[in-house]
Amino acid sequence: MWTESIIKFRENNKQRLDLKFELHHAIHVEQLLRELITFELDSIETEDVIIKREGVILTKEQFFYWWQITRFDEIISEEEVIFKEFNELKEKLSLVINKVKNPTINANDSPKEKQKKETKITANNEKIQKLNNHLKESADSSNVNINALKGFRAAYPSINSIEAFLVNIKIILMNR
């Protein structure tokens, strides 16, 4: 779920965001949370941020618990699935690669047999290279997703950082 949210954000985001800037990071996180958590301003006088999850108002403490426990567990579970899927693919491809047997060229082989065996060896090497390329592409994709999840998992690690995040959300909401 979180991986899909991150990928969807990357594809649909039209703003230039530098996640080293607080407001930029808050925009990014707010967009990732949008389907689960909404933020609203209470009133013009108080301008407190209202946090809602599935229509229910959360306190800062409840939000912090959800952020630190529930969301964290969900992200860890997604990371485990990505690792598991990649390792299964790696194992399958390794088995396939190991089953590929190249013929042995003997000194007694006729030129026609040598050519046939060399063609077979070349074809097998191309197949192995394609499988290795597929594995590398899968590894690269998995690493990008794992790193994105790790970054999101590590965001706002303390109650103080969550409070700073909510201040930034307030600023964003006031300027929309």
Q: What is the mean pLDDT of residues 63-68?
A: 97
Residue 44 has pLDDT above 70, yes or no: no
Q: Please state, as a whole number, how many other Cβ atoms lie within 10 Å of the Cβ of residue 175.
A: 7
Q: In the chain, which ranges are continuous DSSP H helix?
A: 2-12, 22-33, 60-65, 72-99, 111-154, 159-174
Instruction: Classify the phi-psi angles of 47: left when phi > 0, otherwise alpha if psi is within -120 to 50, otherwise beta.
Output: left
Range of the domain at 156: 2-174
**Number of structural domains in the chain:** 1
Give the model confidence (pLDDT) of 131-160 as tens digits. Answer: 999 999 999 999 999 999 999 999 999 999
